Amino acid sequence: MNEPTASARVFRIAVVGCGRISRNHFEAIAKVDELELVAVCDSDGARARAAGDQYGVPAFESLDAMLAGVAVDLVAICTPSGMHPQHGIAVAKAGKHVLTEKPMAISLAGADALVQACDEAGVQLFVVKQNRLNPAIQLLKRAVDKGRFGRIYLANATVRWQRPQDYYDAEPWRGTWEFDGGAFMNQASHYVDLVQWLVGPVESVMARTATQARRIEAEDSGVAVLKFRSGALGVIEVNVLTYPKNWEGSIAIMGEKGSVKVGGTAVNKVEQWTFADYDDDDKLVEAASTNPPNVYGFGHEGYYRNVVSVLKGESKPDTDGRAGRKSLELILGIYESAKTGRDVPIPLRNRL
């Protein structure tokens, strides 16, 4: 099969894993002219065939069969979290670029193996963190980078969502330690990422988690208290038991010269924006708020546009494997603290 050069206008993409999150990928791919969906894959044959029929592409039940049977440039990994490294490594060894949903792995050993495989194969590794691209979050990031807060005192991330028992029962891997993790690893992973991306490296973390209502191995609720290297403090609160539905996904930053909260159900709405000094960005606040149809937001399309730009050699990745590893390490630190009851330094001493 003749492979197109990296400068080709259209990149052939396949999606592995046709479950819940795959819809966002299919919709985003369809909106990016430089991407062509060429195959889908799922170990559930009926689900694979349904997606293949819907999008008019071949369907496979085996990743190896798909890689052998279809010419592809990029593979999106939307399988259970614990399987991301093995699937990504297989794609990299086949010489294809890898795009993986969050989290990139559920252990640092898995994440490091995936990064190493992509490095050795000379392919790109993209880790989806689409909430970074929300207009309100982009505005907040600019305010931090411009130093508008002065010294940052406190950062708070809140995830108050609802995941009923039937959500976990629908897929046996959900809520397991082997393939998923709990509310921090799954639902709150984007918010853990935003906190460390916006405020900076974390020095240590103290945490408590609990499994209060869902019949799962991992946690359905948790809180973490962060100490940043800058001296700022932070709190991350997450639960999937919020009655009766998803209520809030927010991040707030308080500093000596400013206070901002980006809330809504998925960091999509500016709820507080106050600074001591004026900046032209203040005029953009109202327009930065969006109303997405679900907690995944609109960011997948923007993420894919960055992927195309990177593959054309025009940009750097919004989030690559090393950036994805940072938030994973913090989540694993939260879990270690919850397990031991101790303050856990970041970076972790052990490759959990």
In this structure, are residues 82 and 171 in contact, taking their beta carbons and an 8 Å threshold? no
**Among residues 321, 329, 328, which one has the least CA distance to residue 128?**
321
pLDDT number for residue 277: 97
Backbone angles phi, psi at 297, to 5 degrees: 70, -160
Classify residue 103: in a domain, yes or no: yes
In this structure, are residues 160 and 242 in contact, taking their beta carbons and an 8 Å threshold? yes
Classify residue 115: in a domain, yes or no: yes
pLDDT number for residue 352: 59
Distance CA 64, CA 60 (A): 9
Distance CA 268, CA 228 (A): 25
The four Cα atoms 143, 146, 152, 154 give a dihedral, to 10 degrees, of: 20
Distance CA 105, CA 113 (A): 10
Distance CA 219, CA 205 (A): 17
pLDDT number for residue 9: 80
Classify residue 2: in a domain, yes or no: no
Note whether 125 and 135 are same-domain residues. Answer: no
Classify residue 101: in a domain, yes or no: yes
Rounded mean pLDDT of 108-134?
A: 96
Query: Exposed (0-12), middle (13-18) or buried (19+): which is 256, by Cβ within 10 Å?
Result: exposed
In this structure, are residues 41 and 14 in contact, taking their beta carbons and an 8 Å threshold? yes
Classify residue 244: in a domain, yes or no: yes
Classify residue 162: in a domain, yes or no: yes
pLDDT number for residue 325: 96
Note whether 39 and 149 are same-domain residues. Answer: no
Give pLDDT tens digits for 216-227: 999 999 999 999
Alpha helices in 151-259 (DSSP H): 165-170, 189-199
Distance CA 268, CA 222 (A): 23
Amino acid residing at 276: A
Beta bridge partners, 237, equal 158, 223
Note whether 226 and 141 are same-domain residues. Answer: yes
In this structure, are residues 227 and 233 in contact, taking their beta carbons and an 8 Å threshold? yes
Residue 164: pLDDT above 70? Answer: yes
Residue 7: pLDDT above 60? Answer: no
Say which residues have a Cβ less than 8 Å from residue 326's Cβ, sequence separation at least 6: 193, 196
In this structure, are residues 100 and 128 in contact, taking their beta carbons and an 8 Å threshold? yes
Which run of H or of E encompasses 37? strand 35-41
End-to-end CA distance of the chain: 40
Q: Please tell me the pTM assigned to this model.
A: 0.93
Question: Residue 290 — pLDDT band, cuts 50, 70, 90?
Answer: confident
Note whether 152 and 261 are same-domain residues. Answer: yes
Give pLDDT tens digits for 45-87: 999 999 999 999 999 999 999 999 999 999 999 999 999 999 9
Say which residues have a Cβ less than 8 Å from residue 86's Cβ, sequence separation at least 6: none
Question: Residue 292 — pLDDT band, cuts 50, 70, 90?
Answer: low
CATH number, residue 314: 3.40.50.720
Classify residue 6: in a domain, yes or no: no
Note whether 26 and 95 are same-domain residues. Answer: yes
Residue 2: pLDDT above 50? Answer: no
**DSSP character for 82?**
G
Classify residue 296: in a domain, yes or no: no
DSSP 239-290: ESB-SSS--EEEEEEEESSEEEEEETTTT-EEEEEEESS--GGGGGHHHH--
Note whether 181 and 89 are same-domain residues. Answer: no
If one counts the domains in the chain, the total is 2
Note whether 147 and 224 are same-domain residues. Answer: yes
pLDDT number for residue 25: 97
Give pLDDT tens digits for 303-319: 999 999 999 999 999 99
Note whether 194 and 259 are same-domain residues. Answer: yes
**Among residues 129, 107, 214, which one has the least CA distance to residue 170?**
214
Note whether 187 and 253 are same-domain residues. Answer: yes
Distance CA 83, CA 78 (A): 9
pLDDT number for residue 298: 60
Note whether 193 and 340 are same-domain residues. Answer: yes
Residue 6: pLDDT above 50? Answer: no
Helix (H, G, I), strand (E, B) or coil at 322: helix
Rounded mean pLDDT of 296-300?
A: 68
In this structure, are residues 345 and 203 in contact, taking their beta carbons and an 8 Å threshold? yes
Helix (H, G, I), strand (E, B) or coil at 146: coil
Rounded mean pLDDT of 252-276?
A: 97
Note whether 57 and 142 are same-domain residues. Answer: no
Rounded mean pLDDT of 229-239?
A: 98
CATH number, residue 214: 3.30.360.10
Residue 149: pLDDT above 90? Answer: yes
Distance CA 313, CA 87 (A): 25
Residue 70 belongs to domain spanning: 11-129+301-319
In this structure, are residues 88 and 98 in contact, taking their beta carbons and an 8 Å threshold? yes
- CA distances from residue 334 to 21, 154, 303 in whole angstroms, order as listed: 25, 18, 27
Note whether 20 and 150 are same-domain residues. Answer: no
